[in-house]
């Protein structure tokens, strides 16, 4: 029998994806003991993928802040669970009578307190994500405090050091690269088929906001100036019902002024 392909409108696929993501987020609220809000400096998809692989026992969501806000609820009118308004004044503790979830201590049917709605959702601004886990605050904070990875800076990043190049042959580059290097502003020429820097050249000074050309040159010469780092900012504890700030250097009002990132939607 001949197979027939079914055409599905793009907007319908987007809707199915959205519904699936909402379902996964709400399932995580029911399953895990803790929700951590984290921020990312110098975002790199491959680095975030490495973290996900290391934390397969947990779930991470990054990007599409509006979708995450909808999943958790932004107000009593669009709250995740029915009767959430009954928990309006229960932000400190969840009743044991309402706890019957897959993981002891996790929020279950009817027990998602409005603190989740208002406290977690309103912090989803800028390049932030959610980590659902059963690992303790100490385990999470300890692991992410130690995890940093260097990468090449991009345009708009600040130079962390001054980089100057000495004149002479650049044997690491094939002769075909010489025109590209010259277009980037380097005083180069081919001498006996070898790419050669004709004079001293300062790529950048410490503190410079890098241009696309500077960032490209730094990458070509192997200078890594961008530190990929995840910072744990807030934690929701299902057992106690408390929402607390983790990053002591972060003012409570800081996240309210950050722009919202819509770059990625992973789970």
Domain map (residue ranges) of the chain: 11-150+228-247, 163-220
Strand residues in the chain grouped as ranges (E): 34-41, 59-62, 128-133, 148-151, 163-165, 168-169, 188-191, 194-197, 201-204, 226-237, 242-245
Is the per-residue pLDDT at 51 higher than 90? Answer: yes
How far apart CA 144 and CA 230 sit, in angstroms, is: 6
Q: Tell me what pLDDT residue 242 has.
A: 81
Mean pLDDT of 249-266: 42
Give residue-wise pLDDT tens across range 115-149: 454 567 677 777 888 999 999 999 999 999 999 99
In this predicted model, which residue has the larger pLDDT, 17 or 208? 208
The answer to whether residue 19 scores a pLDDT higher than 80 is: no
For residue 252, pLDDT over 50 is answered with no
- Residue bearing the bigger pLDDT, 38 or 250: 38
Q: pLDDT at position 239, please?
A: 80
In a 10 Å sphere around its CB, with 0-12 CB exposed, 13-18 middle and 19+ buried, how is residue 96 labelled?
A: exposed
Query: Mean of the pLDDT values across residues 60-84?
Result: 60
Mean pLDDT: which of 23-32, 63-72, 79-88, 192-201 is highest?
A: 192-201
Q: 30 by DSSP, 3-state: which?
A: helix
132 pairs with which residues across the strands?
Answer: 35, 59
Q: What is the pTM of this model?
A: 0.66
Evaluate if residue 185 carries a pLDDT over 60.
yes
- Confidence grade of residue 236 (pLDDT, cut at 50, 70, 90): confident
The pLDDT assigned to 127 comes to 80
Q: Which pLDDT belongs to residue 73? A: 62
Q: What is the rounded average pLDDT of the residues 82-89?
A: 32
Specify the range with the lowest mean pLDDT, choosing from 45-49, 71-75, 77-81, 226-230.
Answer: 77-81
In the chain, the percentage of residues whose pLDDT exceeds 90 is 45
The CATH class of the 11-150+228-247 domain is alpha beta
Structure-model confidence comparison of residues 85 and 155, the more confident one? 155
Query: CATH classification of 163-220, choosing from 3.40.50.300, 3.40.50.2300, 3.20.20.70, 3.90.105.20?
Result: 3.90.105.20
Residue 201 pLDDT more than 80? yes
Distance CA 121, CA 255 (A): 11
């Amino acid at each position: 029998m001949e197979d027939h392909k079914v055409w599905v409108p793009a907007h319908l696929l987007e809707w199915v994806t959205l519904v699936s993501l909402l379902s996964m987020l709400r399932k995580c609220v029911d399953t895990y003991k803790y929700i951590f809000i984290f921020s990312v400096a110098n975002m790199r998809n491959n680095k975030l993928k490495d973290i996900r692989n290391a934390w397969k026992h947990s779930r991470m969501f990054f990007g599409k802040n509006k979708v995450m806000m909808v999943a958790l609820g932004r107000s009593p009118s669009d709250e995740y669970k029915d009767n959430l308004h009954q928990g309006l004044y229960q932000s400190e503790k969840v009743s044991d009578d309402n706890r019957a979830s897959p993981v002891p201590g996790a929020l279950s049917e009817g027990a998602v307190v409005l603190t989740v709605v208002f406290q977690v959702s309103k912090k989803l601004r800028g390049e932030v994500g959610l980590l659902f886990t059963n690992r303790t605050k100490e385990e999470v904070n300890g692991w992410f405090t130690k995890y940093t990875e260097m990468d090449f800076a991009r345009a708009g990043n600040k130079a962390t050091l001054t980089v100057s190049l000495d004149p002479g042959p650049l044997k690491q580059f094939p002769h075909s690269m010489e025109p590209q290097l010259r277009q980037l502003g380097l005083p180069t020429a081919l001498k006996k088929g070898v790419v050669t820097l004709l004079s001293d050249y300062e790529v950048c000074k410490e503190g410079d906001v890098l241009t696309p050309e500077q960032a490209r040159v730094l990458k070509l010469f192997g200078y890594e100036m961008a530190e990929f780092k995840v910072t744990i900012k807030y934690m929701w504890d299902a057992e106690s019902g408390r929402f607390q700030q983790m990053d002591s250097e972060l003012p409570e009002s800081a996240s309210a002024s950050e722009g919202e990132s819509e770059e990625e939607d992973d789970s």
